[in-house]
Structure 1
Amino acid sequence: MRNRILALVALAAAIDSPLTAQAQSGVTVGRAPAVIDSGPTIAVEQRPAFREYVVEQRVPAFSIPDRIIVGTTLPEAGVTYYDVPQRFGATTYRYTVVNGETVLVEPRSRRIVEVLD
């Protein structure tokens, strides 16, 4: 009886482990805004103004064959990163346009930290 209880507990722990790991992930796949790091990003209420700003700046778009999702590392060559103006909040990230989507990028690693719709 004791062995059955231990086996059931071990089985429950094994089944629960992937769910627990998934719940702790800060990465969301798809078009939903997601953030990898907890660093400051553009506030939700400022995003429409930021999108207008990017359009006004006529930032050239860069194309890559992969889907644009949080966590993607952009190539070393061919991508230009731009500073986010102070009026949109102090952030250590840079922005660029990839496959027609504005993204925030961690400049040292070139990893996408947020996709702005």
Structure 2
Amino acid sequence: MKMRLSTVAAGFLLLAGVGDAAAQDVIIAPEQETVIREYVEKQPLASVELPGVELNIGSTLPDTVELHEVPDVEYRYVVVDNQTVIVDPGTRKIVKIIR
């Protein structure tokens, strides 16, 4: 009985982790991505370096990084290591990296 209970508990924990990961996925509509790309091309920013910060979806950018607005888009952007990084301004988490 203990073994069965442990297996069931492990399964629930695994499913909970999968749910959390799926909840963090943000899908930017292709139209929004096009608007962002075009805006970034017209409004180039100097690239910043962030030693110790990994550029991965879900990584949080420090408060010291200035996020820039794109008109009519809910996300902000910054250029890090010559890559355009799209960020959720509420959480400062990276939602997309445009290479």
Query: TM-score, with normalisation over the residues of structure 1?
Result: 0.62
CA distance in 2, matches of 1:63, 1:27: 29
**Structure 2 match to 1:7:** 2
Unaligned regions of 5+ residues in structure 2, if any? Answer: none
* Aligned AA (2:84): T
* Contact 1:101–1:115 (CA under 8 A) maintained in structure 2: no
CA distance in 2, matches of 1:108, 1:24: 21
* Displacement over 6 Å in runs of 4+: none
CA distance in 2, matches of 1:71, 1:114: 6
- 1:102 equivalent in alignment to 2:97: no
CA distance in 2, matches of 1:61, 1:18: 40
Within the candidate set 70, 80, 90, 2:57 is matched to 70
**Structure 1 match to 2:11:** 16
How much is the aligned-residue C-alpha RMSD, in angstroms?
A: 2.7
Q: Residues 27 and 104 from structure 1, CA distance in 2 versus in 1: closer, same or farther, beyond 3 angstroms?
A: farther
Unaligned regions of 5+ residues in structure 1, if any? Answer: 1-5, 29-33, 36-40
Q: Give the 3-state SS of the residue equivalent to 1:25 in structure 2.
A: helix
Larger C-alpha radius of gyration, 1 or 2? Answer: 1
* Aligned AA (1:69): N
CA distance in 1, matches of 2:82, 2:21: 24
* Contact 2:68–2:77 (CA under 8 A) maintained in structure 1: yes
* Aligned AA (1:83): E
Aligned pairs, number: 96
* Contact 1:72–1:112 (CA under 8 A) maintained in structure 2: yes
Greater relative CO (CA pairs within 8 A, separation 6+): 1
Q: Give the 3-state SS of the residue equivalent to 1:102 in structure 2.
A: strand
Query: TM-score, with normalisation over the residues of structure 2?
Result: 0.70
Matches within 5 A, 1:1-117: 6-26=1-21, 34-35=25-26, 42-65=28-51, 66-77=53-64, 79-86=65-72, 89=73, 91=74, 93-109=75-91, 111-117=92-98
